[in-house]
Amino acid sequence: MSKITPEHLARQAVVYIRQSTADQVIDNKESQRRQYGLADRARQLGWSEVIVIDDDLGRSGGGTARPGFEKLLTGICEGRVGAVSIEASRLARNGRDWHTLLEFCGLVGTLIVDEDGVYDPRHPNDRLLLGMEGTMSEMELSIFRQRSLEALKKARRGELFLNVAIG
């Protein structure tokens, strides 16, 4: 049984794309390629109307206004969106935004699509998996922060040694 119904396909699929900094937008083209590729995935799954929201490229997820995310939530709440195609880690590395998205999608019957699957936030098992994805994204940021702080301490003690690149 497919989670994608004719009702979902009658609405648009929205691909939400974000990168945190202008440097990431310039230097991390692979992430952009993967995120824009989610539009092709939505088309392969049967959506004819696929909208890409990339207004938040170069905007941090922490405390910064994100008009693209607001546009996404508005479309979901108005019932125009049958599926949101997104990389969980690109939304923001805090649970508030992720769980807000899941809650709104669950209320109006909007699916979540990524490279690995199609999830319905109204189904308990899918909701559990999506919740774990959000939690892992938060944990990833915590680990990055912890490693950075440890590296700073090591540098202050004069114990940080870096090798010169070969070539």
What amino acid positions are annotated as catalytic residues?
A: 20
CA–CA distance from 38 to each of 91, 96, 103, 130 (Å)?
14, 23, 22, 17
Question: Token pair of 149, please?
Answer: 């702080």
61 within 8 A of 98, measured Cβ to Cβ: no
- The Cα–Cα gap between 95 and 11 comes to 27
Starting at the edge strand found earlier in the chain, the sheet holding 12-19 runs: 50-57, 12-19, 81-85, 111-113, 118-119
